[in-house]
């Protein structure tokens, strides 16, 4: 899978005194986009944790704000994978209202075991994240 789009409606609680979406909510929307990308790719994050003992820890996050979103507007979070390997993955996001680009961002994640040590993602999950399977010949 190369991309996934998640649609949301801005809730009143997500806005500030000026009636604009509070900046931190864009990161919440990125998380929603990331979870739905994984679900559409056949990975339920909770199941990944239970089956592998791995966590997808955020190692970095950034957002560039271009235009505000307001209460009750429908927005779309367009999620793609920027880069991935067996130890880390970077998701990229575009948040739009119709054709208007509101924000762009990315989150970089590393796979950690239950002891919070970096560990490789099992190969069976690689295709869902766009990681090429090694040549076995």
Q: Which residues does the annotation mark as catalytic?
A: 16
Sign (positive or negative) of CA dihedral 51, 52, 53, 55: negative
Rounded to 10°, the helix 45-52/25-40 angle is 70
Cα separation, 134 vs 70, in Å, equals 46
**Strand bridging mode 55-65 / 100-112:** antiparallel
């Amino acid at each position: 899978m190369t991309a996934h789009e998640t649609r949301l409606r801005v809730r009143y609680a997500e806005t500030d005194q000026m009636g604009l979406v509070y900046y931190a909510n864009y990161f919440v929307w990125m998380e929603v986009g990331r979870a739905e990308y994984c679900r559409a790719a056949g990975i339920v994050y909770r199941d990944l944790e239970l089956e592998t003992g791995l966590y997808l820890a955020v190692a970095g996050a950034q957002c560039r704000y271009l235009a505000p979103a307001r209460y009750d507007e429908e927005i779309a979070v367009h999620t793609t994978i920027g880069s991935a390997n067996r130890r880390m993955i970077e998701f990229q996001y575009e948040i739009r209202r119709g054709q208007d680009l509101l924000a762009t961002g990315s989150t970089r994640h590393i796979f950690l075991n239950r002891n919070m040590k970096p560990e490789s993602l099992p190969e069976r999950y690689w295709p869902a994240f766009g990681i090429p399977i090694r040549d076995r010949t």
